Structure 1
Amino acid sequence: MQTPPKLRAVALEHDGVVTAAEAREHGLDRSAVHRRVAIGDWVRVGPRLYRLADHPVTDRTTTRIATLSVGPSAILSGSAAAWWHGIVDDRPGTITVTAPRGRHGPPVKGVRILNRSLDDADVLIRRDLRVTGVALSALEGAVELGAEVIDSALQQRRITVERLEEAYGRRHRCVGAAEMGPMVALLESGARPAAERFAVAILDAAGIDGWVADHPSCGYEIDLAFVAHMLAVEIDGFAFHRDAGTFQRDRTRRNALIAAGWTVLNFTWADLTERADHVASSIRQALSVAA
């Protein structure tokens, strides 16, 4: 009992997943669907939701099933949405799905369900699945996984700072906004000045002194220099601001400092805001080696 060719084509486009509504659109009533499940051609994977038995179970398959299991109006969100957009490489273990307010239904294994309303500007259809837009996906993904998610979206030119600011403006009173706000604020200046302030705060908190800011050497200014130890701490800021020319200038600068006898440590603002202990221990270790 073969699946109608047109319906099979739809299922293959949808990662092997078929909904009851799609089956009806292609002439299969409830009994026809049940027969296909009974003989093993289809596998029931959720309410009114089926998978072609001969289709591999991929990450996209399980993500689509998880989203549609929440309901027909469900929206893939957060870091899972960022993954669906191709902003991050790995699908998260727990998938966040937005459901309409007032949804009544059972929990879905491996799914965090958010009952909320989203602005139309923050929802789109990607590969025939409702998903949060790139800007909101990047912002919420960054809350879950770190600022590199935003950086990745910007480097790929999938979104602009202006779109991120607009998406944040629509969510500034909602869950996650407190974490999004500082990241959005840092974007306006490329994060460098603020990142330098983070670095100074880390040094102060760790009791590390003996540094000077903007120390001249080799025709450059070192962000934070421990002159007596010839240790240079350089702040990279957001990577999306670093085009090919900037990247080359930074490498030339680093090589010149190393050739002049400096030990150079580079930190991103994500290092400073999310891995402060690592930053402090790296600097402390470099100072002890140079002592």
Structure 2
Amino acid sequence: MSIPHATPGRIDVHQHLLPPDFLAALRRHGIAEAGGRALPSWSPESAVAMMDEHRIATGVLSLSTPGTHLGDPVEARELTARLNDAHAELVKDRPDRFGMFASVPLPDVDAALDAIAHADDELHADGVVLLANHRGTYLGEPAFDPVMAELDRRNLVVFIHPAELPAAPVEGIPPFAADFLLDTSRAAYLLVRNGVVARHPDLRMILSHAGGLVPYAAHRMATGMALDVGRDIGDVLEDFRRFYYDTALSGSPSALPSLLAFARPDHILYGSDWPFAPDNVVTYFTDGLDEYLTHTASLPSIHSAIDRDNAAALFPRLDR
């Protein structure tokens, strides 16, 4: 069991949903796993039970890889709209327990812009989920500039989740275990290198899984950009620090020191990665986060910030 706290429950920014229509669409395309993990079972009731076990007040739900574009652009538009509408109804029924990162059918940019408008104007989504790469095109590449500009204009929070690398997998290495970290890091690198972060300094983007490799390798990445495109190392590091970072699968005594040393204290958010991370894995990393923050000198003061306060600042609706 996690260490108890007197503060209000956590806000979990990295929690997934797998509604029946999504699973049916994946089955039609012969998809039975995501990131090398078999698709888990999910229901609102099981989500609430998990959250109660881990002192999570609210889970901001998102679809994981492969997202809603499964190859057919017409199907992708229809599937995105149907799933976002159903997601919004779930939040409407339980606004205290669930939040919404709306899906978009990238790499179809026009369809994505329409989905963003619908999610914001009509569904009042808490934000949008984007994959680090959409069918081989990475966030940060110029093709997606209109999407990033629109998300900035609408002041929507962006949750960036890894997908499978646009390359053949290596036998014996499930993508979720290693490739996902690289995928997130590639997207973050390109978002900084190609000036997306600099052009949109107020765009709030969350990197999954403690940013992949970013906190550990940010200085190396910054020197790479200095040699490649002549950017100032300090400016590059500040751009990387503008990202938010969740703790999903990262509450360990090896990952947390890099994350806490690099990220801004108010830019670290709790994440569970349930149900792709099963209950015992959520317990392992949540307990690891609690124990590290509780027993490391100077860190208990930011425990409530990571658990809830930082996310509440991003999502004021969830703090009511």
TM-score, structure 2 as length reference: 0.26
More relative contact order, 1 or 2 (CA 8 Å, 6+ apart)? 2
**Would you tell me which structure has more strand in proportion to its own residues?**
1
Larger radius of gyration: 1
